[in-house]
Amino acid sequence: MLSQTTDPDVSAPFLQCGSRRLDLSTPRIMGVLNVTPDSFSDGGALRASRGDAAGFSVSLDKALRRAESMVADGAAIIDVGGESTRPGAAPVSEQQELDRVVPVIEALARRLDVIVSVDTSNPAVIRESARVGAGLVNDVRALRREGALSAAAATAMGVCLMHMQGEPGTMQQAPDYDNLLADVQAFLQQRATACEASGIARARICLDPGFGFGKTLAHNYTLLRDMQQLLGTGLPLLAGLSRKSMIGAVVERQVADRLPGSLAAAVLAVMHGASIVRVHDVAATADALKVVQAVNNAS
């Protein structure tokens, strides 16, 4: 699944993440590790007994145990995020984000055989995360924040570029598109081109259509249904649908009770072109994807 070489095997699809190559010949799972107090699903779950200036700090032991469990369950990537991007989430300072994510990334990179991803838009966090062993930048702003693109290009990390209309605080205020799929694809292609122009090889780039980020319920389900159209970019796709409000709106269940809907969404995403799914429930998702693979491999 993972190798420690930068010499690409062009016979199989892959994503280069620093010194590690993620084989994408089968669907891969990114496990969510939020080191935040306010993420929509699991904010505060890894809280330490004493807080930082914002009243929150991370328990490194809890974070490691959670990551170890996800790796054992089948995660190929652990995505560490220190700032919630849910609608209306409060911003955090650069130092708070660094304090939350860097020690966790360093510990994971040292102890686990897994790609560690940092969910950030902050150039300083990108640089420090790379220094301590992160292999992937997962950025909801697609490296558009000032200095983010050059920071990522100066590392060997892979990048995941996500489509978002607007900013997290306002993105759900009447999002509108001329042509949803065409607009999303054009944005992602433009950002990929900008990355390549900055020296980031195509083998280091994957794309995320951004479910729930500046999209109505109808937009989200149209995007899921027609996601294979985005494969025209020639780059691998990541889909993050786990426990989101687009699922809650359909199944009419609270966040903690959205596992069945999340599994259905993950299966559909893979069947419609996703190479990576970002999820909270790794073990259950791994089982669901094994069934998808059994169907794909049936003779």
Domain boundaries, the chain: 2-294
pLDDT at 4: 47
Choose the CATH number for 2-294 among 3.20.20.20, 3.40.50.300, 3.40.50.720, 3.30.2320.80: 3.20.20.20
The Cα–Cα gap between 283 and 274 comes to: 18
* pLDDT on residue 227: 97
| Tokens coding 253 | 């269940």
What are the residue numbers of the active site? 244, 278
pLDDT of residue 37: 73
Structure confidence at residue 171 (pLDDT):
56
* Residue 149, SS3 per DSSP: helix
Compute CA distances 186 → 67, 136, 139, 207, 231, whole Å.
35, 23, 17, 12, 12
pLDDT of residue 83: 87
Distances, alpha carbon 247 to alpha carbons 180, 271, 285, in Å: 19, 18, 15
**pLDDT score at 85:** 76
Sign of CA dihedral 138, 144, 147, 150: positive
Compute and round to an integer the Cα radius of gyration of the chain.
18
What would the two tokens of residue 49 be?
């007994």
The pLDDT value recorded for residue 2 is: 52
What residues form DSSP beta bridges with 278?
Answer: 30, 240
Element (H, E) at 60: helix 60-73
Which residues of the chain fall short of a pLDDT of 70? 1-11, 38-58, 86-90, 167-174
Q: In this predicted structure, what is the pLDDT of residue 43?
A: 44
pLDDT at 59: 81
| pLDDT for the residue numbered 280 | 96
Among the listed residues 154, 163, 104, the one whose alpha carbon sits nearest the alpha carbon of residue 134: 104
